[in-house]
């Protein structure tokens, strides 16, 4: 089933002359690494290809753009990678998508061709299979990008979404990428003094509710201004730290933006993060998800606390 879908998409990619590949808002290593790797593969096939990425990207993943340059052409086709809904398409990107490549169970993008593989740990795994099916040999840069994509979404191969296939693909990537440890270091071990100070502030205002089953924290604009950092620089790993604490079933990190509040959620086993976020119009995966609120920070926070009361006392049907 998946194989047929991959062949169909590869046939389409072989026929087109050019494409622009779009990444999701607040880009992570999966969307960005998948986009760059696919872009390079298309260029190797003799196509014109570019990527579209938001201007502000985390310094932890800037290395994925090393050596990348835009080509000058007018794109006729649009490919999305790792984007599950229209609200996650950056303002600067085209909104009409021709080919959608993703692994989110909550994907609701409308596209002429959809390749959504829910069992893939990362979109990077799907792009790996596309590149293999194209018959394009991997290179060091593609391997670096795809490794980063898979390592990012699996929490460096620790999360329950990691499969045997994730490891087999990674093993093959390692033939081309000897310094994978450097990639891990950049993505998982990088921390500036500002990052550390922000973490101190976030942890200091973390609240534990419902007998310690909910850990909820916030990043206000004032906190960011005080440290002189942007929202994109906030390490989402912080919300994962909170769900590791004994007894915590759901952790939420609320980030105040000009137009509302961006929420990242993490859950322990037995609580489906995608289902919880869906209540507020968001989406994601079993253990990690996100959503947006248009209300002010404290209003959004109270709404989350109130809505989670039922979930945390009765449980949801996630695993």
Rg of the chain, C-alpha, whole Å: 19
Closest approach, Cβ 155 to Mn ion, in A, equals: 12
From the list 26-34, 160-168, 209-217, 264-272, the region that binds Mn ion by CB under 5 A is 26-34
In the list 10, 26, 29, 30, the residue contacting Mn ion (rule: CB under 5 A) is 30
| Cα–Cα distance measured from residue 106 to residue 198, given in angstroms and rounded to the nearest whole number | 31
CB neighbour class for 288 (10 Å; exposed up to 12, middle 13-18, buried from 19): buried
Closest approach, Cβ 149 to Mn ion, in A, equals: 7
Closest approach, Cβ 93 to Mn ion, in A, equals: 17
Q: Which of 126, 133, 132, 161 is nearest to 266 (CA)?
A: 161
**Residue number, nearest CB to Mn ion:** 30
Closest approach, Cβ 82 to Mn ion, in A, equals: 4
Interface residues for Mn ion in 44-83 (CB under 5 A)? 82
How many chain residues touch Mn ion (CB under 5 A)? 4
Closest approach, Cβ 79 to Mn ion, in A, equals: 15
On whether the CB atoms of residues 223 and 201 are closer than 8 A, the answer is: yes
From the list 7-15, 28-36, 217-225, 250-258, the region that binds Mn ion by CB under 5 A is 28-36
Total Cβ atoms within 10 A of residue 73 = 14
Is residue 153 a contact residue for Mn ion (CB under 5 A)?
A: yes
Is residue 125 a contact residue for Mn ion (CB under 5 A)?
A: no
Interface residues for Mn ion in 78-117 (CB under 5 A)? 82
- Tell me whether residue 93 or residue 202 sits nearer to Mn ion (CB atom): 93
- Tell me whether residue 93 or residue 304 sits nearer to Mn ion (CB atom): 93
| Cα–Cα distance measured from residue 182 to residue 6, given in angstroms and rounded to the nearest whole number | 31
On whether the CB atoms of residues 244 and 237 are closer than 8 A, the answer is: no
Closest approach, Cβ 29 to Mn ion, in A, equals: 9
Interface residues for Mn ion in 223-282 (CB under 5 A)? none
Strands 78-81 and 18-22, by their bridges, are: parallel
283-284: strand order across its sheet: 207-209, 214-219, 250-257, 260-267, 288-293, 283-284
Cα distances from 45 to residues 24, 49, 93, 131, 317, in angstroms, run 25, 10, 24, 10, 45
Interface residues for Mn ion in 291-310 (CB under 5 A)? none
**Sites of contact with Mn ion (CB under 5 A):** 30, 82, 123, 153
């Amino acid at each position: 089933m998946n194989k047929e879908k991959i062949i169909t998409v590869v046939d389409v990619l072989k026929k087109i002359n050019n494409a622009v590949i779009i990444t999701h808002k607040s880009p992570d290593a999966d969307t960005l690494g998948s986009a760059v790797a696919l872009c390079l593969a298309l260029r190797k096939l003799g196509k014109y290809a570019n990527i579209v990425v938001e201007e502000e990207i985390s310094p932890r993943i800037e290395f994925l753009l090393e050596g990348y340059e835009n080509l000058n052409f007018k794109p006729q086709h649009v490919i999305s990678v790792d984007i599950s809904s229209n609200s996650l398409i950056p303002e600067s990107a085209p909104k009409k998508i021709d080919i959608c490549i993703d692994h989110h169970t909550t994907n609701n993008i409308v596209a002429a061709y959809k390749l959504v593989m829910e069992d893939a740990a990362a979109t990077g795994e799907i792009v790996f299979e596309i590149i293999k099916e194209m018959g394009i040999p991997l290179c060091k840069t593609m391997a670096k990008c795809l490794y980063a994509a898979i390592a990012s979404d699996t929490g460096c191969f620790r999360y329950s979404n990691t499969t045997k296939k994730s490891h087999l693909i990674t093993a093959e990537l390692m033939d081309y990428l000897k310094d994978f440890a450097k990639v891990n270091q950049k993505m998982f071990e990088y921390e500036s003094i500002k990052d550390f100070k922000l973490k101190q502030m976030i942890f200091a205002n973390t609240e534990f509710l419902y007998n310690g089953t909910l850990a909820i924290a916030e990043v206000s604009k004032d906190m960011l201004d005080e440290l002189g950092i942007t929202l994109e620089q906030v390490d989402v790993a912080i919300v994962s730290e909170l769900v590791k604490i004994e007894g915590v079933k759901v952790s939420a990190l609320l980030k105040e933006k000009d137009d509302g509040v961006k929420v990242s959620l993490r859950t322990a086993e037995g609580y489906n993060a995608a289902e919880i976020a869906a209540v507020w119009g968001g989406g994601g995966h079993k253990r990690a998800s996100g959503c947006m609120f248009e209300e002010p920070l404290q209003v959004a926070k109270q709404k989350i606390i109130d809505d989670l009361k039922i979930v945390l006392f009765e449980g949801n049907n996630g695993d």
